[in-house]
Amino acid sequence: MAERAGLIVGIDLGTTFSLVSVVLPGDPKAVPMVIDNAMGEKLTPSVVALGEDGRLLVGAPAQAMATTHPDRVLRCFKREMGTDKTWTLGGSSFTPQELSAMVIKALVADAEAALGQPVTEAVVTVPAYFAGAQRRATRQAAELAGIPADRIINEPTAAAMAYGLHNLDKEQRAVVLDLGGGTFDVTVLEIIEGVVEVQASAGDARLGGEDFSEALARLLARRIAKEHGRDVTAHPHGWARLLEASERAKRRLSEVEETRLALPRLPLGPHMERDVELVITRADAEACWQPLLARIRDPIWRALRDGGITPSELDEVLLVGGATRMPVFVKEVAALCQRMPSRNLPPDEAVAMGAAVQAALKRGHAAVEDLVVTDVAPFSLGVAVVQAVGRQHLAGFFAPVLERGTVIPASRVKTFHTVNDGQDRLLIQVFEGEHSLVRENRELGQFELLQLDRAPAGQPVQVRFTYDLNGLLEVEMHVPHQQRTEILIIERTPGQLSPEELERARAAMAELKFHPRDALPNATALNRAEALYVELTGTPRSILGEAMAAFRLALEGQVDAEIDQARAMLLHTVAHFS
Ligand code: AMP
């Protein structure tokens, strides 16, 4: 197969962090490389903020504003993908797609700067648990960023590809556990001679590392309340600072048994600030995480059961996602899966690396041609039916047509029957979910079949569901005795932009003023310094103030060498007092 021109990158669009990776054309081993952003970091925070100069910031400089200007910082928008939620920033309103598009744009700019070539396409990953609407919204985000992404793949599948490529000659059954910032995905897979087959997936779309940070912050807030008699959670600025400190403490507790948090002048109420110091042990943290840890068990059991596998049959337990670095998570998983998990790849990079492998496959990279991936439907898809209970008919039951775990692309047909004599119409309502009652599942669309022949009850209607690799659904209804077929394509679901809205959003995106990429390290350094300045007092504060003033002066002077020197000095000072 020939290689096409232009780079196709793999993008892990995460809740807290995103990454971009590429397999360089011509690399004989097809090793995915994770690309550094303008700050020289591999992880770009999935954060958008409005800078002081009125321009938008994406990534680290935006993240650094979270404590000083929480009202101007937007994060965790991935959780709202596929919904109608919007956020307001600087007088404009933004959808989850638009905010995600800004992150994708930033990653693509980093890839182009690092590789010196235009990026023409992307493979973007989504949690296995993303439903159709969320997958379509993700594809729209890429379109808005000006980068077509016609392959949207599951994060665990991508991780499997990253691992599969490294283990081509081994045959194994594995479970991939991905605890990222906002989602937990469990995937059971089989790798045989380069073919990675996803056998089952389950998860919790609202459980992630952020919840562990927040649980820790709440524990600390209770201690602060005991000591100072004030509820810091009621004070947005104080709560934002405590959350940030808890995030840092959580990471430190992955390495050490005990850590100390210093929060000078923590706002605890109107006109009330206190110097707060707390010591937290790993054991304290692990105790407060028990309810969260309990929530990881269920999806693991469900995925193993759906995949028809017992823990003793597993050859590998693979961990991906930054939050799997928590020792208590590893301990819990080792007990559940009856074996120590392996982490051959950096846990936060595996998904992006797998997406890059998929991108290489798409562009026809010779070394990955043999690698085939199959995916499974994340939810059951079906229709609402009436059930006979004795002589009564009860409505609102769910009849799955294409079941969760079916390897996709797939097409399944089921025959339904009219329930009333002389019935001349039939409402087909399409749902996704696992509950026996449709009201507990999500409605995706409906179609009313009219002008049926007025015949006795029991007339057949065949309903065929065709589900493609990107999670798009086509519903075909066939009335055999009328030789008639109707088609419903599930397109417009909540949170999806119509073609006109997409065009308008694209035009609006072109109008937005972003901070220039080469000035991002400067903005980041200043924002990080500002955030620390709030926390410091006394001499450290004035030393930092001086370094900040020197840096601002250098920025005004516009001499690159002087700016670089003053920035290095400022970052050194920030690191020293952090
Ligand atoms: P991801 O989206 O996969 O990058 O995961 C990000 C999540 O991993 C965040 O909630 C981080 O707090 C968490 N995380 C990253 N590094 C560590 C660490 N060393 N210990 C505990 N959690 C971590």
Give the whole-angstrom CA distance, residue 89 versus residue 73.
8
Residue of 250, 253, 255, 318 with the most ligand 1 atoms within 8 Å of its CB, for mutation = 250
Mean pLDDT score, 20-34: 90
Residue nearest to atom 18 of ligand 1 (CA): 251
H/E run at residue 484: strand 484-489
Confidence of residue 366 (pLDDT cuts 50, 70, 90): low
- 58-68 core/surface letters (b: 16 or more CB in 10 A; e: else): bbbbbbbbbbb
Mean pLDDT score, 401-417: 86
Of residues 522 and 30, more confidence is placed in 522
Q: Residue 497 above 50 pLDDT?
A: yes
Determine the angle formed by the axes of helices 560-577 and 520-535, rounding to 10 degrees: 30
Candidate from 162-171, 231-240, 462-471 with smallest mean pLDDT: 162-171
Give the whole-angstrom CA distance, residue 38 versus residue 18.
14
Look at residue 500 in the predicted model and tell me its pLDDT: 84
Taking the centre of ligand 1 as the mean of its atom positions, its distance from the CA of residue 321, in whole angstroms, is 7
Look at residue 564 in the predicted model and tell me its pLDDT: 93
Mapped to the 3 state alphabet, what secondary structure does 216-267 carry?
Answer: HHHHHHHHHHHHHCCCHHHCHHHHHHHHHHHHHHHHHCCCCCEEEEEEEEEE
Question: Tens digit of pLDDT for each residue in 445-454?
Answer: 899 999 888 8
Question: Given the CA of residue 209, which atom of ligand 1 is nearest to it?
Answer: 10
Confidence of residue 10 (pLDDT cuts 50, 70, 90): very high
Give the whole-angstrom CA distance, residue 425 versus residue 3.
52
Look at residue 404 in the predicted model and tell me its pLDDT: 79
Taking the centre of ligand 1 as the mean of its atom positions, its distance from the CA of residue 298, in whole angstroms, is 21
Confidence of residue 325 (pLDDT cuts 50, 70, 90): very high
Residue nearest to atom 19 of ligand 1 (CA): 251
Name residues whose C-beta falls within 8 Å of residue 323's C-beta, 6 or more positions apart in sequence: 179, 180, 181, 208, 209, 212, 329
Question: Tens digit of pLDDT for each residue in 374-400?
Answer: 566 778 899 999 988 777 888 999 999
Taking the centre of ligand 1 as the mean of its atom positions, its distance from the CA of residue 253, in whole angstroms, is 12
10 Å CB burial of residue 418 (0-12, 13-18, 19+) is buried
Residue nearest to atom 7 of ligand 1 (CA): 181
Name all residues whose Cβ lies below 6 A of ligand 1.
Answer: 14-17, 180-181, 208-210, 213, 247, 250-251, 254, 321-323, 325-326, 348
Confidence of residue 231 (pLDDT cuts 50, 70, 90): very high
Residue nearest to atom 12 of ligand 1 (CA): 209
DSSP, res 455 = B
Taking the centre of ligand 1 as the mean of its atom positions, its distance from the CA of residue 324, in whole angstroms, is 7
Please name the CATH architecture into which domain 7-207+294-376 falls.
2-Layer Sandwich (3.30)
Nearest to 188 by CA among 326, 402, 374: 374
Nearest to 43 by CA among 23, 13, 71: 13
Residue of 326, 333, 343 with the most ligand 1 atoms within 8 Å of its CB, for mutation = 326
Q: Residue 1 above 50 pLDDT?
A: no
Taking the centre of ligand 1 as the mean of its atom positions, its distance from the CA of residue 457, in whole angstroms, is 58
The verdict on domain 209-290 having CATH code 3.90.640.10 is yes
Question: Taking a C-beta distance cutoff of 8 angstroms, is the pair 212, 199 a contact?
Answer: no
Nearest to 323 by CA among 343, 299, 309, 303: 343
Give the whole-angstrom CA distance, residue 202 versus residue 306.
9
Q: Where are the beta strands (DSSP E) in 390-425?
A: 392-402, 407-408, 410-417
Residue nearest to atom 1 of ligand 1 (CA): 180
Residue nearest to atom 10 of ligand 1 (CA): 209
Q: Residue 492 above 70 pLDDT?
A: no
Q: Residue 165 above 50 pLDDT?
A: no
Question: Given the CA of residue 322, which atom of ligand 1 is nearest to it?
Answer: 8
Question: Given the CA of residue 351, which atom of ligand 1 is nearest to it?
Answer: 3
Q: What percent of the chain has pLDDT over 70?
A: 93
User: In Å, what is the CA distance from 123 to each residue of 14, 179, 199, 210, 328?
Assistant: 14, 21, 22, 25, 33
Give the whole-angstrom CA distance, residue 285 versus residue 212.
9
H/E run at residue 210: helix 209-228
User: Catalytic residue positions?
Assistant: 12, 78, 155, 178
Angle at 191 between CA 189 and CA 195, to 5 degrees: 110
**HSE (side-chain half, CA atoms, 13 Å) at 110:** 30
Question: Given the CA of residue 255, which atom of ligand 1 is nearest to it?
Answer: 19
Question: Tens digit of pLDDT for each residue in 179-230?
Answer: 988 889 898 888 776 666 777 888 887 899 999 999 999 999 999 999 999 9
pTM: 0.76
Q: Residue 109 above 90 pLDDT?
A: yes
Residue of 15, 16, 79, 259 with the most ligand 1 atoms within 8 Å of its CB, for mutation = 16
Look at residue 337 in the predicted model and tell me its pLDDT: 94
Taking the centre of ligand 1 as the mean of its atom positions, its distance from the CA of residue 247, in whole angstroms, is 9
- 234-253 core/surface letters (b: 16 or more CB in 10 A; e: else): ebebbbbbbbbbbbebbbeb
Of residues 290 and 235, more confidence is placed in 290
Q: Residue 319 above 80 pLDDT?
A: yes
CATH placement of domain 381-512 = 2.60.34.10
- 149-174 core/surface letters (b: 16 or more CB in 10 A; e: else): bebbbbbbbbbbbbbbbebeeeeebb
Give the whole-angstrom CA distance, residue 138 versus residue 81.
7
Question: Tens digit of pLDDT for each residue in 519-573?
Answer: 899 999 999 999 888 878 788 899 999 999 999 999 998 899 999 999 999 999 9
Residue nearest to atom 20 of ligand 1 (CA): 251
Look at residue 493 in the predicted model and tell me its pLDDT: 58
Question: Given the CA of residue 19, which atom of ligand 1 is nearest to it?
Answer: 4
Angle at 406 between CA 344 and CA 449, to 5 degrees: 145
Residue nearest to atom 13 of ligand 1 (CA): 323
- 375-386 core/surface letters (b: 16 or more CB in 10 A; e: else): bbbbbbbbbbbb
Taking the centre of ligand 1 as the mean of its atom positions, its distance from the CA of residue 180, in whole angstroms, is 6
Look at residue 166 in the predicted model and tell me its pLDDT: 44
Question: Given the CA of residue 15, which atom of ligand 1 is nearest to it?
Answer: 2
Mean pLDDT score, 339-348: 87
Taking the centre of ligand 1 as the mean of its atom positions, its distance from the CA of residue 360, in whole angstroms, is 27
Look at residue 181 in the predicted model and tell me its pLDDT: 84
Question: Given the CA of residue 250, which atom of ligand 1 is nearest to it?
Answer: 21
H/E run at residue 92: strand 92-94
Taking the centre of ligand 1 as the mean of its atom positions, its distance from the CA of residue 183, in whole angstroms, is 11
**HSE (side-chain half, CA atoms, 13 Å) at 465:** 30
Look at residue 376 in the predicted model and tell me its pLDDT: 65
> Phi and psi dihedrals of 491, rounded to 5?
-120, -60
